[in-house]
């Protein structure tokens, strides 16, 4: 079957830069799904996206659908005709639904029953006739939260639409989409070539846009070029340009033909915290910043222009003129904020509601301060520093700088605390309280920062559970799952041995003003431990290994981690499956016994069989060896030692009848098995490892 290339391009006013890639990918996905649904084959699809256009090039697209063979089965022949041979209503109705007379129907046997049947061939439609609906449907389904109308038209789209190209081979597909009639000409750069560019063949699209159109249509190609240009400018200065990928994407979405230009600002602005200057340059002016060999911010920036000017100096001067007031604002905010201490802003937090049922931000700070003091004392931190950091933790929310740049909360608290003469560790903790902010983010480096981060997150989690608003499958407005993972990461990766159940209990005491359900502590604890599941599964730990540890619900996350690491190692030993199976068997036996019969005390005089004597001696020796290891948290080495029990355990089950008629012997053997199980339960329930 013959094929042709297909080009569709939608020309618009400047599209939202942060949404451009999403729109482009969704457009491609929609058209791909439409072609596949219609059974149209092709060799590939390339997406193009610039501020003024969304386009797709489909290569080697078949010109027509394959013919479709349709087969339908009707009623059984026995029920299709009366005794005199005339058709029954069932047969007549089936024939009408097929658009033929009863006489035109066939008979086919299916599952031993002879039935009426109808078959026909539906010719495939021409691809050109199907493409308008495919494109229109894909555009209608783009993820656009708010559509707009323009002029007197009732048509809605993310931005006004000006032109449409629909070219299949060398032929125009005549249609109207979003109020625009299709054509075969694109339009070049708004300033350098704002005129029609006729396209004869879809494959010429990218080349023609670049020359003469001065438009680089391929998003990734444009992005790579911007990165090269920006780095070249930095190299020329002997500096390092810091390229944030999100900013690079946004800049790529703002230009069609990039030109990198370097500007500068007054060195006096460097007295302001560099993070504030960087944020001003990135968020307001979409500029890249530069650093020296020591990573220190330089009074330079690189802007990416959409115009290739004959006088670049004027463009640079314009960027400098615009960026200077932004930096001046940052400096003004910084100097003004320093005139009042963080502590002096604390009272104003009483006017900010944290959550309707949980009180104000001031009240949250008080709760966190109390909890932080307990946590610090429990893990060897400084309770005084921790309480002070908690009291100041939210005060920077009321500063001018954070009011302008919300992303600087915590960080500005650090700078202002240092300015106020607070201890450096307290100041650092103010910035570290929000860590980790996202998956894979850095953790607090100071002990006080760890304490504050854990206390702040734990207060939010416990509070929301206390008022009956835990996360649901679709809603987690306070990001409690992320906070829970943060708590666990800090405790495990910073080697902090905190009893989580006790910490939750301490946190709950701060909510005495609420009617807290009695099950809240257990619910919060289970919620936190369950966050471990996704963490470890991502690291390749099996569900069986995880289940063996969580079955015991260790109260200390660090201890949980050590146990899981040990069991994961043990599960890979050759003896593990046999011992897991033995523990599973013991569990089943004990489940059938009453508590008295499963008393782990063993009477040596009742050990009649040599196999049970061997197991008893092996257990006694193992207990003396591994209990000190387990008490010290050395679970891995302890389980390795217990792996040596495999032969004696196998020998016991091969030679000894546990559920014998002699009740005394039976109870003694069950007690011996209880000792075996209890020994492993000092670490985990390894019966969960058994693959039955």
Sheet order of strands, 161-168 included: 44-50, 53-62, 3-12, 161-168, 171-172
CA pair distance 364, 371, nearest whole angstrom: 11
**Residue-level pLDDT at 598:** 46
Domain span at residue 589 reads 562-689
Cβ(255)–Cβ(297) below 8 Å:
no
Do 360 and 448 reside in the same domain of the chain? yes
Do 283 and 138 reside in the same domain of the chain? no
* Exposed/middle/buried for residue 376 (C-beta within 10 Å: 0-12, 13-18, 19+): buried
Do 389 and 278 reside in the same domain of the chain? no
CA pair distance 499, 532, nearest whole angstrom: 16
**Residue-level pLDDT at 329:** 94
**Residue-level pLDDT at 692:** 56
The structure tokens listed for 243 are 């390229």
Cβ(602)–Cβ(620) below 8 Å:
no
Do 368 and 511 reside in the same domain of the chain? yes
Comparing CA positions, the residue from 609, 557, 596 lying closest to residue 674 is 596
Do 391 and 463 reside in the same domain of the chain? yes
DSSP per-residue codes, 111-175: TTEEEEEEEEEEPPPBHHHHHHHHHHHHHHTS--SS-B--TT----BSS-EEEEEEEETTEE---
DSSP per-residue codes, 407-433: GGTTHHHHHHHHHTT--HHHHHHHHHT
DSSP per-residue codes, 549-577: HHTT--S-HHHHHHHHHHHHHHTTSTTHH
Cβ(188)–Cβ(194) below 8 Å:
yes
**Residue-level pLDDT at 291:** 96
Which CATH number fits the domain that encloses residue 611? 1.10.730.10
Q: Is residue 326 part of a domain?
A: yes
Q: 594 — phi, psi (to 5°)? A: -80, 170
Do 457 and 521 reside in the same domain of the chain? yes
**Residue-level pLDDT at 604:** 83
Q: Is residue 554 part of a domain?
A: no
Q: Is residue 545 part of a domain?
A: no
**Residue-level pLDDT at 595:** 46
Among the three residues 337, 367, 387, which one is the final residue of a domain in this structure? 337
Cβ(395)–Cβ(343) below 8 Å:
yes
Do 118 and 136 reside in the same domain of the chain? no
CA pair distance 57, 209, nearest whole angstrom: 13
Provide the domain count of the chain.
5
**Residue-level pLDDT at 78:** 80
Do 584 and 604 reside in the same domain of the chain? yes
**Residue-level pLDDT at 520:** 95
Do 394 and 511 reside in the same domain of the chain? yes
Do 81 and 170 reside in the same domain of the chain? no
Q: Is residue 552 part of a domain?
A: no
Q: 73 — phi, psi (to 5°)? A: -105, 140
Which CATH number fits the domain that encloses residue 132? 3.30.70.260
Among the three residues 183, 210, 237, which one is the final residue of a domain in this structure? 210
Do 304 and 235 reside in the same domain of the chain? yes
Q: Is residue 536 part of a domain?
A: yes
The structure tokens listed for 588 are 């089943």
Which residues is 291 bridged to in the sheet?
240, 297
**Backbone conformation region of residue 489, classed left if phi is above 0, alpha if psi is from -120 to 50, else beta:** alpha
The structure tokens listed for 353 are 């509601």
Do 317 and 375 reside in the same domain of the chain? no
Q: Is residue 177 part of a domain?
A: yes
* Exposed/middle/buried for residue 135 (C-beta within 10 Å: 0-12, 13-18, 19+): buried
Q: Where are the beta strands (DSSP E) in 209-287?
A: 240-242, 259-264
**Residue-level pLDDT at 151:** 86
Among the three residues 160, 188, 210, which one is the final residue of a domain in this structure? 210
Q: Is residue 234 part of a domain?
A: yes
In order along the chain (692 residues), what is the average pLDDT of each group of 10 residues? 94 96 97 95 97 98 87 83 84 85 82 84 88 97 93 92 97 96 97 96 97 97 98 96 96 97 96 94 93 95 94 93 94 96 96 94 97 97 97 97 94 97 97 93 96 98 95 87 96 97 96 93 96 91 94 95 94 89 83 58 84 90 92 92 89 85 84 88 90 64
The upper half-sphere exposure of residue 666, i.e. CA atoms within 13 Å in the direction of its Cβ, equals: 12
**Residue-level pLDDT at 494:** 97
Which CATH number fits the domain that encloses residue 398? 1.10.3210
Helices 424-432, 383-392: inter-axial angle, 10-degree rounding:
50
Q: Is residue 556 part of a domain?
A: no
Strands 185-187 and 180-181: unpaired
Tell me how far the alpha carbon of residue 110 is from its chain's centroid.
50
The structure tokens listed for 58 are 């489909």
């Amino acid at each position: 079957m013959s094929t042709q290339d297909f080009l569709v391009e939608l020309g618009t006013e400047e599209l939202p830069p942060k949404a451009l890639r999403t729109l482009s990918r969704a457009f491609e996905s929609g058209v791909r799904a439409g072609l596949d649904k219609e059974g149209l084959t092709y060799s590939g699809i390339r997406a193009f996206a610039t501020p003024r256009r969304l386009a797709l090039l489909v290569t080697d697209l078949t010109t027509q659908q394959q013919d479709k063979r349709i087969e339908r089965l009707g009623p059984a022949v026995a029920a299709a005709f009366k005794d005199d041979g005339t058709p029954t209503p069932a047969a007549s109705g089936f024939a009408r639904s097929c658009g033929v007379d009863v006489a035109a129907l066939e008979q086919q046997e299916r599952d031993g029953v002879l039935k009426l049947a109808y078959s026909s061939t539906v010719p495939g439609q021409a691809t050109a006739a199907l493409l308008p609906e495919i494109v229109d449907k894909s555009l209608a389904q783009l993820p656009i939260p708010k559509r707009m109308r323009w002029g007197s038209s009732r048509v809605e789209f993310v931005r006004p639409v000006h032109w449409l190209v629909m070219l299949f081979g060398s032929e125009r597909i005549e249609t109207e989409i979003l109020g625009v009639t299709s054509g075969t000409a694109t339009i070049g750069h708004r300033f350098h070539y704002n005129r029609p560019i006729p396209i004869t063949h879809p494959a010429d699209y990218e080349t023609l846009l670049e020359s003469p159109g001065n438009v680089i249509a391929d998003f990734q190609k444009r992005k790579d070029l911007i990165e090269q240009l920006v780095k070249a400018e930095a190299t020329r200065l002997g500096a390092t340009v810091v390229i944030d990928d999100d900013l690079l994407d946004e800049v790529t979405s703002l230009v069609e033909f990039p030109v990198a230009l370097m500007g500068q600002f007054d060195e006096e602005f460097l007295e302001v915290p560099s993070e504030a200057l960087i944020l001003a340059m990135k968020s307001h002016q979409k500029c890249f910043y530069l650093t020296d060999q020591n990573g220190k911010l330089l009074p330079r920036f690189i802007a990416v222009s959409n115009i290739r000017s004959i006088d670049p100096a004027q463009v640079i001067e314009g960027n400098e003129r615009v960026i200077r007031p932004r930096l001046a604002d940052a400096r003004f905010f910084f100097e003004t904020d320093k005139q009042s201490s963080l502590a002096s802003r604390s009272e104003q937090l009483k006017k900010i509601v944290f959550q309707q049922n949980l009180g104000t931000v001031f009240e949250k700070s008080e709760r966190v301060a109390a909890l932080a003091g307990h946590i610090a004392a429990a893990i060897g931190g400084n309770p005084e520093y921790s309480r002070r950091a908690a009291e100041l933790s939210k005060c920077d929310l009321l500063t001018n700088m954070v009011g302008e740049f919300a992303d600087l909360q915590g960080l500005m608290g650090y700078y202002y605390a240092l300015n106020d003469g607070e201890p450096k560790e307290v100041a650092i903790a103010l910035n570290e309280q929000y860590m980790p902010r996202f998956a894979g983010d850095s953790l607090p480096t100071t002990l006080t920062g760890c304490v504050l981060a854990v206390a702040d997150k734990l207060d939010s989690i416990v509070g929301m559970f206390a008022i009956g608003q835990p996360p649901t499958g679709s809603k987690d407005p306070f990001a409690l799952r992320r906070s829970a993972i943060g708590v666990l990461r800090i405790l495990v990766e910073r080697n902090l041995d905190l009893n989580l159940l006790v910490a939750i209990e301490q946190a709950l005491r701060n909510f005495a003003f609420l009617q807290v359900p009695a099950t809240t502590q257990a619910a919060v604890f289970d919620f936190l431990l369950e966050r471990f599941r996704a963490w470890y599964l991502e690291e390749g730990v099996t569900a069986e290994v995880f289940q063996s540890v969580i079955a015991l619900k260790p109260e200390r996350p660090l201890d949980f981690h050590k146990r899981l690491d040990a069991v994961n190692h043990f599960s890979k030993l050759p003896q593990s499956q046999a011992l897991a199976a033995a523990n599973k068997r013991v569990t089943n036996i004990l489940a059938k016994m009453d508590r008295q019969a499963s008393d782990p005390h063993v009477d040596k005089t009742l050990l009649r069989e040599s196999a049970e004597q061997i197991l008893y001696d092996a257990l006694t020796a193992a207990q003396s060896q591994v209990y000190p290891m387990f008490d010290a948290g050395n679970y891995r080495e302890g389980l390795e030692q217990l792996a040596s029990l495999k032969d004696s355990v196998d020998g016991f089950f091969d030679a000894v009848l546990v559920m014998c008629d002699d009740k005394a012997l039976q109870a003694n053997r069950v007690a011996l098995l209880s000792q075996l199980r209890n020994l492993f339960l000092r670490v985990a329930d390894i019966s969960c490892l058994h693959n039955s």
